[in-house]
Chain A
Amino acid sequence: AQTVTQSQPEMSVQEAETVTLSCTYDTSESDYYLFWYKQPPSRQMILVIRQEAYKQQNATENRFSVNFQKAAKSFSLKISDSQLGDAAMYFCAYRSGDTGNQFYFGTGTSLTVIP
């Protein structure tokens, strides 16, 4: 099974500053998809951004962007101009493109935004 590793259990950032959350994964597949999900305290998990492995261009969604390094199997999330509402657990997820479309989640990074 694929494994997803988030090595930073906790991170903090000053409001309006930039923070980068790390994620690495292990796979032998060539067809896969990567996601970052956000889970605010006691609230629903929502998608932040996705990246198709076959695309070389890094995905961007407003203040959120990724640095996808396929050879290194790295998929980090950059949050620019951090806002108080960005405080949440962030989960990196891998989805197989071949074998049953299973999702594999990392253990999460808890982001604190300091006013």
Chain B
Amino acid sequence: EAGVAQSPRYKIIEKRQSVAFWCNPISGHATLYWYQQILGQGPKLLIQFQNNGVVDDSQLPKDRFSAERLKGVDSTLKIQPAKLEDSAVYLCASSLLGGTYEQYFGPGTRLTVT
């Protein structure tokens, strides 16, 4: 079974530039999560999708971050314009529906904003 795929793995941009991350979840996983993980901290949920719909985006900085999940499969997360404090690892995870199921994480995208 293929895991959660993310690209790119690394990205360096200057502040005020834009950047997009892509995630392909495990086939059949209805729920998809985007997390921001700052070095030395736990993952912070940015947005959670269930199929095409958004379940929780309460911590997404909507003035600069946007995300979509087309056809309930792949997802993209965009930052425009980027700030220095956006430097972090962006993790994508997917899960089957139901509380007993764990999340499967992708390798993450390490973003550096200079």
Interface residue B18 (Cβ < 8 Å from any Cβ of A): no
Top 3 closest A-B pairs, CB basis?
Answer: A97-B99, A105-B42, A45-B105
Known contacts A32-B99, A50-B100, A105-B43; A100/B55 CB under 8 A: yes
B91 at the interface (CB under 8 A from A): yes
Given contacts A44-B106, A45-B105, contact A102 B99 (CB under 8 A): no
Q: Which of B42, B56, B100, B105 has the most CB of A within 10 A?
A: B42
With a cutoff of 8 Å between Cβ atoms, the chain A residues found around residue B91 in the complex are 45
Number of A-B contacts (CB under 8 A): 57
Task: Tell me whether B109 is interfacial, beta carbon within 8 Å.
Answer: no
Q: Could you tell me the distance in whole angstroms from the C-beta of B23 to the nearest C-beta in chain A?
A: 13
1/0 per residue, CB under 8 A from A, across B27-57: the answer is 0000101000000111111001010000110
Mark A83-115 against chain B: 1 for CB-CB distance below 8 A, else 0.
000000001010111001111111110000000
Q: How far is the CB of A66 from chain B (nearest CB, A)?
A: 14
B105 touches A31 (CB 8 A): no
Query: Considering only CB atoms and an 8 Å cut-off, how many residues of chain B contact the other chain?
Result: 26
Question: B31 is contacted by which of A45, A52, A101 (Cβ under 8 Å)?
Answer: A101
Interface residues of A (CB under 8 A from B): 31-33, 35, 37, 43-47, 50, 52, 91, 93, 95-97, 100-108
Known A-B contacts A31-B99, A100-B56; the reply to A44 vs B105 at CB < 8 A is yes
Which A residues are CB-close (under 8 A) to B107?
43-44
B43 interface neighbour in A50, A91, A97, Cβ under 8 Å:
A91
Question: With A33-B100, A44-B106, A44-B107 as given contacts, are A101 and B45 in contact (CB-CB < 8 Å)?
Answer: no
B114 contacts partner chain A, Cβ-Cβ < 8 Å: no
Question: Is the C-beta of B25 less than 8 angstroms from some C-beta in chain A?
Answer: no
Write out the residue numbers on chain B whose beta carbons fall within 8 Å of the beta carbon of A103: 33, 45, 103
6 cross-chain CB contacts under 8 A: A32-B99, A37-B105, A43-B107, A50-B102, A93-B103, A102-B56
Residues of B near A35 (CB, < 8 A) are: 102
Residues A102 and B55 in contact, CB atoms below 8 Å apart: yes
